[in-house]
């Protein structure tokens, strides 16, 4: 699952060295918010490695897997229900030193904006079998754990001191990114997207916003999976503007072609602050409180069964039921 990104990094470093400043991976349904010159000016003032876009539980920094509840599927997959210790690697640094580190999985986003220095380091390190990236890659593959964009890059960057320092500088009170001079940027997400709105998060938080559905007449698109990402339209413009995002995901001319006519812009002020009117209903609003009661009841039942049997082999809450 990580190979396309790693291949792109290798091509950028080896075939196009010196011709680019940042590596950005995009999908076909992504759309830039700003025109090229304005985008370049913003990125020049944000000299960070973005391995999250904002949907991460801890904002623009990767999320430690142990912050999730023990029963949450992400934690259970990478920690084997907390019965297996985190991997310890003894590796050789690029200057020839031997180091040993315990590596804890961190979650981020598959959508990255990476500085050239990190890209060069990662490509070079993966060419050495005794480097930390190579050993971590081999561990994931041999242990049968998912080697995804959401975990591989964020976990590495959190365990290499020189690059951990390149993660975004954020105002702790407002969640805003800081420009390189330390001033607030008004940016709380580098990529605006809507995810996981069919269910509570691992921490019991809900999103109750209206969203678009795929038109029944459309044969080109499938209905989004229950966990998203969900399609965007003009009613999301106010949220896009407020977030300060540089890119948006997910846009289709078959759902709402107007976004393709409105974006990109030169200034944030050029984005009309259009949002969902309360009286408009495009997709059904879920009964979140009833869903939460059902989830809590099922979790309690599973906990009671574990307590009764002393077994660690409990079942997950089936997200598809939500």
pLDDT exceeds cutoff 60 at 318: no
Domain boundaries, the chain: 1-286, 288-321
Give tens-digit pLDDT for 142-201.
Answer: 988 888 888 999 999 999 999 999 999 999 888 899 999 999 999 999 999 988 776 677
Please choose, from the candidates 134, 161, 132, 150, the residue with its C-alpha nearest in 3D space to the C-alpha of residue 73.
150
Residues in a beta bridge with 30:
249
Which whole-number Å values give the CA distances from 47 to 41, 115, 117, in the listed order?
A: 11, 7, 11
Tell me the percentage of the chain whose pLDDT exceeds 70.
92
**Listed range (45-54, 253-262, 280-289) with the worst mean pLDDT:** 280-289
CB contact burial 224-242 (16+ within 10 A = b; e otherwise):
beeebbbbbbbbbbebbbb
Mean pLDDT of 50-75: 86
Residue predicted with more confidence, 110 or 319: 110
Q: Is 113 helix (H, G, I), strand (E, B) or coil?
A: strand
- Position 311 scores a pLDDT of 52
Give tens-digit pLDDT for 237-253.
Answer: 999 999 999 999 999 99
Q: Which value, to the nearest 10 degrees, does the dihedral of the CA atoms of residues 101, 103, 106, 111 take?
A: 80
Mean of all residue pLDDT scores within the chain: 88
Which run of H or of E encompasses 288?
A: helix 288-309
92 band by pLDDT with thresholds 50, 70 and 90: very high
Mean pLDDT of 61-73: 89
Residues in a beta bridge with 50:
113
316 band by pLDDT with thresholds 50, 70 and 90: very low
- Position 83 scores a pLDDT of 75
Which whole-number Å values give the CA distances from 87 to 47, 101, 105, 158, in the listed order?
A: 31, 8, 10, 15
Q: Which value, to the nearest 10 degrees, does the dihedral of the CA atoms of residues 285, 228, 261, 247 take?
A: 120
């Amino acid at each position: 699952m990580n190979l396309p990104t790693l291949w792109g990094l290798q091509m950028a470093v080896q075939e196009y060295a010196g011709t680019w400043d940042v590596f950005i991976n995009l999908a076909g349904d992504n759309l830039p918010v700003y025109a090229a010159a304005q985008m370049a000016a913003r990125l020049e003032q944000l000299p960070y490695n973005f391995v999250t876009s904002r949907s991460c539980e801890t904002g623009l920094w990767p999320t430690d897997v142990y912050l999730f509840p023990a029963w949450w599927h992400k934690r259970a997959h990478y920690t084997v229900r907390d019965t297996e210790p985190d991997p310890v690697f003894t590796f050789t640094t690029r200057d020839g030193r031997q180091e040993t580190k315990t590596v804890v999985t961190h979650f981020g986003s598959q959508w990255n904006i990476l500085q050239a220095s990190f890209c060069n380091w990662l490509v070079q390190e993966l060419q050495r079998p005794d480097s930390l990236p190579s050993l971590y890659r081999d561990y994931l593959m041999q242990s049968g754990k998912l080697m995804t964009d959401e975990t591989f890059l964020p976990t590495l960057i959190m365990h290499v001191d020189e690059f951990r320092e390149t993660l975004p500088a954020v105002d702790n009170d407002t969640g805003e990114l800081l420009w390189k001079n330390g001033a607030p940027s008004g940016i709380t997400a580098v990529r605006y997207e809507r995810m996981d709105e069919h269910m509570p998060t691992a921490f019991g938080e809900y999103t109750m916003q209206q969203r678009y559905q795929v038109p029944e007449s459309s044969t080109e698109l499938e209905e989004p999976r229950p966990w998203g990402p969900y399609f965007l339209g003009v009613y999301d413009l106010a949220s896009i503007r407020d977030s300060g995002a540089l890119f948006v995901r997910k846009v289709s001319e078959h759902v709402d072609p107007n976004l393709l006519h409105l974006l990109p812009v030169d200034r944030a002020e050029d984005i009309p602050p259009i949002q969902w009117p309360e009286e408009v209903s495009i997709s059904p609003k879920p009964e979140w409180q009833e869903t939460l009661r059902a989830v809590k009841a099922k979790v309690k039942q599973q906990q009671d069964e574990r307590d009764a049997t002393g077994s660690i082999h409990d079942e997950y809450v089936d997200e598809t039921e939500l």
